């Protein structure tokens, strides 16, 4: 699914309750997170819930980054699914050029998430962007 398709799906669902249920369902489809990677070094700080995020360089004809993440909270798992859809398998330059606030606004996340959830979400984004910046040599 592309981000535009996700936005369309959210629009069709209409209210936040249906969107939230869909978000939770998305979290069930996250790739398996390796148990041995649930370490303090891989933890994303700033999130109320536990979130772990790792990256792997990926060579698929171009230098992209694959992200894998997990959380102990169902809604956060759905937010992770959105972030992986946006960022995983992209080049560092594509990641850094993404207008993530615009995407969140189009999805309505800026209106419906609590400030604590928003802080955690942007903590994950900041971690992803710092990984991309390091790989881009910035």
Active-site residue, from 6, 23, 26, 47: 47
pLDDT, position 75? 92
> Token pair of 31, please?
């790739």
How do residues 79-118 score in pLDDT, each as one tens digit?
999 999 999 999 999 999 999 999 999 888 888 888 888 8
pLDDT, position 138? 63
> Token pair of 107, please?
């999805």
- CA 78/CA 93 separation, integer angstroms: 25
Domains and CATH numbers, the chain: 3-136 (3.90.1010.10)
20 is catalytic: no
pLDDT, position 113? 86
> Token pair of 90, please?
């992209």
What is the DSSP code (8-state) at residue 34?
A: P
Whether residue 15 has pLDDT greater than 80? yes
CB neighbour class for 52 (10 Å; exposed up to 12, middle 13-18, buried from 19): buried
How do residues 36-90 score in pLDDT, each as one tens digit?
999 999 999 887 899 999 998 877 667 899 999 999 999 999 999 999 999 999 9
């Amino acid at each position: 699914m592309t981000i535009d398709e996700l936005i369309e799906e959210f629009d069709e669902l209409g209210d936040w309750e249906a969107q939230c249920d869909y978000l939770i369902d998305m979290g069930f489809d996250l790739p398996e997170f390796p148990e041995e990677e649930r370490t303090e070094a891989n933890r994303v700080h700033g999130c109320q819930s536990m979130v772990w995020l790792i990256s792997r360089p990926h060579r698929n004809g171009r230098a992209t980054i694959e992200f894998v993440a997990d959380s102990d909270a169902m809604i956060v798992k759905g937010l992770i699914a959105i972030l992986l859809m946006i960022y995983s398998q992209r080049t560092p330059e594509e990641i850094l050029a993404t207008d993530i606030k615009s995407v969140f606004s189009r999805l309505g996340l800026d209106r419906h998430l609590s400030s604590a959830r928003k802080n955690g979400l942007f903590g994950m984004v900041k971690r992803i962007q710092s990984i991309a910046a390091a790989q881009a040599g910035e």
